[in-house]
Amino acid sequence: MRPKRYPYSNQKEPAKPAPSDNPLKIFDKFLASVLLVAKPNNPDHVRLVNDLMQTYSKLYP
């Protein structure tokens, strides 16, 4: 969802988060999107995915 622009300025309206009853579902979507764009030859991406997967293993024992 794109933030709306004010009619007479370049300021953007802050995007409102989508309401969700299940925060784990949001984390799963975030993790899936990170895994789609992470590049295996970038050490920062590898480190990020490693940290996220450790967090995932703690959430889902």
Q: pLDDT tens for residues 7-59?
A: 566 666 666 766 777 878 888 888 899 999 999 999 999 999 999 999 989 98
Please check the confidence at residue 1 and state whether its pLDDT lies above 80: no
pLDDT on residue 41: 95
Is the overall model pTM greater than 0.75, yes or no?
no
Nearest to 34 by CA among 25, 46, 23, 22: 46
In this structure, what are the phi and psi dihedrals at residue 41, rounded to the nearest 5 degrees? Answer: -95, 5
> What letters, b where the CB count within 10 A reaches 16 and e where it falls short, cover 8-25?
eeeeeeeeeeeeeeeeee
pLDDT on residue 48: 93
